[in-house]
Chain A
Amino acid sequence: SQKIEQNSEALNIQEGKTATLTCNYTNYSPAYLQWYRQDPGRGPVFLLLIRENEKEKRKERLKVTFDTTLKQSLFHITASQPADSATYLCALDALGTGNQFYFGTGTSLTVIP
């Protein structure tokens, strides 16, 4: 069956360090992979999209990598700040399913001042 796995444990890091979140998937061949941020009581907010033919994408302090051989995406937040504390979700556009996105369960990140 199709499956997406994110860091199962909550991630706590010190302010100023780099946070690295993982998204692993099986039985997919996604054309796109997206990362979202979700704060308590709010809907997810889009952060970055990376295509299967792109190895890396950056936006300010955020960086996403996409390795279709390993079936893995890494999401990095450099120079982390307490305001980065949130749950981060990865989502796959499974090739061949049209508009359907599959989401991981998310990783809760806490940046400690």
Chain B
Amino acid sequence: DAGITQSPRHKVTETGTPVTLRCHQTENHRYMYWYRQDPGHGLRLIHYSYGVKDTDKGEVSDGYSVSRSKTEDFLLTLESATSSQTSVYFCAISDRVSQPQHFGDGTRLSIL
């Protein structure tokens, strides 16, 4: 399996609090992605990165920000969590554009 670690694996927090999810890779892949997965919607891209300090928005980026200060780490931040952001969040990596993505095992986030 590709070396991808997501942390935390589970988190429960309250509306209005900031939350940061971490994705760490040991593959030295250039591209990193954050998705959310919800019933009836499938996987939807939140943000992605194509290099250190290079990021771009995905399909559902409102309410989320990201940072990538090192090749191996990609952080997803919810500045002020809302209940609609309750979801399972997946990080993925790939070494080239349009190539297979390798996914972490997800973070289950509940916002009460």
Q: Chain A interface (Cβ within 8 Å of chain B)? A: 4, 31-32, 34, 41-46, 49, 89, 91, 93, 98-106
Contacts and interface: CB of A to CB of B under 8 A. Distances in A.
Given A99-B97, A103-B44, A41 B105 contact: yes
A89 B42 contact: yes
B48 A45 contact: no
Given A43-B4, A100-B45, 14 more contacts: A31-B98, A43-B90, A43-B92, A43-B104, A44-B43, A46-B101, A49-B99, A49-B100, A93-B98, A98-B56, A99-B48, A101-B33, A104-B42, A106-B42
Main SS of chain A's interface residues?
A: strand
B9 to A, nearest CB: 10
B31 interface: yes
29 contacts: A32-B98, A34-B100, A42-B105, A42-B106, A43-B4, A43-B90, A43-B92, A43-B103, A43-B105, A43-B106, A44-B103, A46-B100, A46-B101, A46-B102, A49-B100, A89-B43, A98-B56, A99-B50, A99-B56, A99-B94, A99-B98, A100-B45, A101-B33, A101-B45, A101-B101, A102-B59, A103-B44, A105-B40, A106-B42
Which interface class (under 10, 10 to 19, 20 to 34, 35 or more) fits B?
Answer: 20 to 34
A37 to B, nearest CB: 11
Interface string B8-50: 0000000000000000000000010101000011111100101
B58 interface: yes
A89 B100 CA distance: 13
Contacts of A98: 50, 56, 97
A4 B42 CA distance: 10
Interface of B: 4, 31, 33, 35, 40-45, 48, 50, 56, 58-59, 90, 92, 94, 97-106
A4 B44 CA distance: 12
A92 to B, nearest CB: 10
Contacts of A101: 33, 45, 101
